[in-house]
Amino acid sequence: TAFLHSHATSFGFKQVREDEKSKLVGNVFSSVASSYDVMNDLMSAGLHRLWKDRLISKLNPFPGMKHLDVAGGTGDVAFRVVERIKSVSHRATQGTLTDMEEDTHIYVCDINPNMLEVGKKRAAEKGYNEEQCLSWVQGDAEALSFEDGSMDGYTIAFGIRNVTHIEKALSEAYRWATQES
């Protein structure tokens, strides 16, 4: 009877009410935030790193890019985007990321503040705390406040499985994309 007035959606291997999913997902990620990256290594035997490297290769980040990484909490994909841009910029100008076109900006968005805190800490450990190109934004993939056509790139890795309305999140991604992306 709990499902009479609310649609069901998947959460792991069970069905839950749509209005419960985000709370359940939030609880899971709040409890694992500090060990999330290690868990990914263990559960995928490190393959997630290869998958993310392939994702970045396909994305082909460039200096001056505005990129949004949704469900990017710990920064794993965003750091790869920054490193690729630094690599491209360094080869082109022998410069550093701070020498790149000042329009370069990577937004890491996650609904869970604990995941974002882990990401910020990792960024500082990697020396990105001095970089002006990273922003950490708490928000829901289904309803973010970026302007239409404001992003050159958009990624959502494993987090897509935790979105209640996937089609809504992807519609938002399309709205943010520039015509060139």
Mean pLDDT of all residues in 11-15: 79
Contact 66, 103 (CB under 8 A): yes
What residues form DSSP beta bridges with 131?
Answer: none
Who has greater pLDDT, 115 or 91? 115
DSSP three-state, residue 155:
strand
Residue 114 is which amino acid? N
Query: Is position 181 within any domain?
Result: no
* 8 part of a folded domain: no
pLDDT in tens, 42-71: 777 877 778 999 999 999 999 999 999 999
13-17, 81-85, 169-173: range with lowest mean pLDDT:
13-17
Residue 138, helix vs strand vs coil: strand
The reply to whether 1 falls in a domain is no
For the chain, percent of residues with pLDDT exceeding 90: 44
Report the candidate in 161, 69, 170, 51 with the shortest Cα–Cα distance to residue 110.
69
What's the pLDDT band for 94 if we cut at 50, 70, 90? low
Residue 26: inside a domain, yes or no? yes
Predicted local confidence at residue 60, as pLDDT: 95
Report yes or no on 10 lying in a domain: no
Total count of domains within the chain: 1
CA atoms of 170 and 4, how far apart (whole Å) = 27
Residue 149: give the domain boundaries.
Answer: 16-176
**Residue 42 near residue 57 (C-beta atoms within 8 A):** no
Residue 101 sits in a domain whose CATH number is 3.40.50.150
